Amino acid sequence: MIDSNDRLRKARQDRGYATPTDAANAFGWNVNTYRSHENGNRGISKSAAIKYATAFNVSVGWLLTGVEKSGTNKEHSISTKTGINQIPIRYVPLLELGQVYMGISNDGFSEVDQKFIGISGLSKLSEDVIAVEIPDNSMVENPFVKGVSFTAGDVAVIDKKAKIVPGDYILALVPSLEEAVIRKYKAIKVDNDGFAHIELVPLNSDYPTIPVEGYLEEIVVGKIVQRISNI
């Protein structure tokens, strides 16, 4: 009987990765976790199946059940090159700002609602990377500056471990508003113990600057390190 771990191994081999380690390193997965899925020591959840099916260009249904014998996981697929010219792609959680504020961890999503996005060029970033879709035009400069402004529908890639300095674009929590926002970081005062008085500044003057007080580690979720344009 062929089980899901056997199908995962076949999908990985068909995609051109000689070993589980090669695949895990290429996509930024934890090597031990991936190995345990492929050798059958750990069951493959639907959220993990989405991630693997996307990377290996197979259907989630086939990977989990074997029913769908062919076809691409169209909902989550991304075009990549194989072999020595392959572009490394990492699959990271794609969140809504409301999910960020509620503090939902990667493992806290319902499997039905779990979403991932494939992103290239993340090899030098930490493993703690997420992506957030921009919901409004608060970060659109007037006049519009391509490559600087964030329009509604763009995706911001956030490294939660990156060091921030004034002027960086960050994802931050605003307890007084019970929401998370994407804004430019302006430091008013930061004490030696990390307690800070900061301002979260929009690029669009139609939106307000938000003053926030608190410990930086509790305010700042991460630094925006990449923008994926919707236009």
The C-alpha atoms of residue 146 and residue 154 are separated, in whole angstroms, by 12
Q: Are 131 and 156 in contact (CB under 8 A)?
A: yes
Domain assignment present for residue 188? The answer is: yes
The reply to whether 130 and 60 lie within a common domain is no
**Residue at a domain's end among 19, 52, 75:** 75
Question: Residue 54's domain spans which residues?
Answer: 1-75
The reply to whether 128 and 218 lie within a common domain is yes
| Residue-level pLDDT at 58 | 86
Mean pLDDT of 97-113: 60
pTM over 0.75: no
Per the structure, the count of domains in the chain is 2
The C-alpha atoms of residue 35 and residue 30 are separated, in whole angstroms, by 9
Residue 183's CATH number: 2.10.109.10
What confidence tier does 229 reach under pLDDT thresholds 50, 70, 90? confident
* CB-count exposure of residue 193 (10 Å: 0-12, 13-18, 19+): exposed
The reply to whether 124 and 214 lie within a common domain is yes
Say if residue 79's pLDDT is above 70.
no
The C-alpha atoms of residue 124 and residue 211 are separated, in whole angstroms, by 32
**Residue at a domain's end among 46, 75, 104:** 75
**DSSP strand pairing (129-133 vs 89-95):** parallel
Structure tokens at 146: 């391509």
Residue 16's CATH number: 1.10.260.40
The C-alpha atoms of residue 172 and residue 170 are separated, in whole angstroms, by 6
Sign of CA dihedral 200, 201, 202, 207: positive
